[in-house]
Structure 1
Amino acid sequence: MDQLRYPIGKFKYDQTSGSREITEWMSDIDRLPDRLENAVLGLSEDQVKTRYREGGWTVKQVVHHLADSHMNAIVRVKLLLTEENPEIKAYDEKSWSELRDNDLPIEVSLNIIRGVHKRWVRVLEFVSKEDWDKTLRHPENGEMSLKLLTAHYAWHGNHHLAHITTLKERKNW
């Protein structure tokens, strides 16, 4: 069950990570829109309504969640870069996943993800070495640096992408 929930493993962060890891995380963020689109390409409406595991989200909910989450991510990054240790707001992912916009076609969220990721990577490309250590305060996770946020969101995209790709493998789609 844990393998279905965390197909790439739980998030791990090494505080000694440097420029090589940052480049890898930025690449993961940059490539996610194409990889996600390829993963859902050709799936039928019944297939996108399939849960990746019992009690988990449907493929459609995963895609919409990624749009919601990564819209929040770029706002958090911009707040972190333009304010002194800002406190951000958490949000209830489960409740967001149940709102009516989640019945829209996945293409709507794929377009959001493509645009958000393009802008997000552009911002990250011009971050100074010092700014990677700037922080924000998350109400549940405490103080988080830009480096930690970037690592987490790179993992987050790959994590949910793996929910879809491993489901496809199991179902032989």
Structure 2
Amino acid sequence: MADQYSTLQKDFYRESGTWLSTFQIWAKCINPNLHFIYVLRKAQQYRKTPLLNIFWKFVLRHYQIKYGFQIYPETEIGEGFYLGHWGSLVINPQAKIGKNCNIAQGVTIGQQNRGKNMGFPIIKDEVWIGTNAVIVGGITIGTNVLIAPNSYVNFDVPDNSVVMGNPGKIYPSENATEGYINHKI
């Protein structure tokens, strides 16, 4: 059933658990988080259309500055993307984020320029990332992972885990994101 809906509709579904029309989506853009996701998805949709690409990149840049979200159209982000709170978020354009992921404010998902984990993070499906968490390097975060607020993660995290602390420590948990990721698609 969900296959008939656009990526944008799937992102907005995560907020309320209701499938919305184009007009209803536009009306919900009063919320800064949803408004930014709307503009980001439009910039991603029109990346290969010359004139619309320029227009949507310009609009996206305006809202990056206004809302404090540093996310670029080149970033691969799966369906059901959810920004929990407004403000200060940095995601490297080469990072990859899976489906049904939640990201809170103050999060950094970035590049590591040296050492054994040089590169960019890959974050799989159903990952919840708490306030002020930092995820860096050529690492993989598995499916069904909760990264607690203020955690520092520069190592691979297996599926079904909770990560807490600085430096982060892994705790196995089959229901790591239960109750944290609502309205999955």
Question: Which of 1 and 2 has higher RCO (CA within 8 Å, sep 6+)?
Answer: 1
- In the superposition, the TM-score normalised over structure 1's length comes to 0.26
| Larger strand proportion of the pair | 2
- In the superposition, the TM-score normalised over structure 2's length comes to 0.25
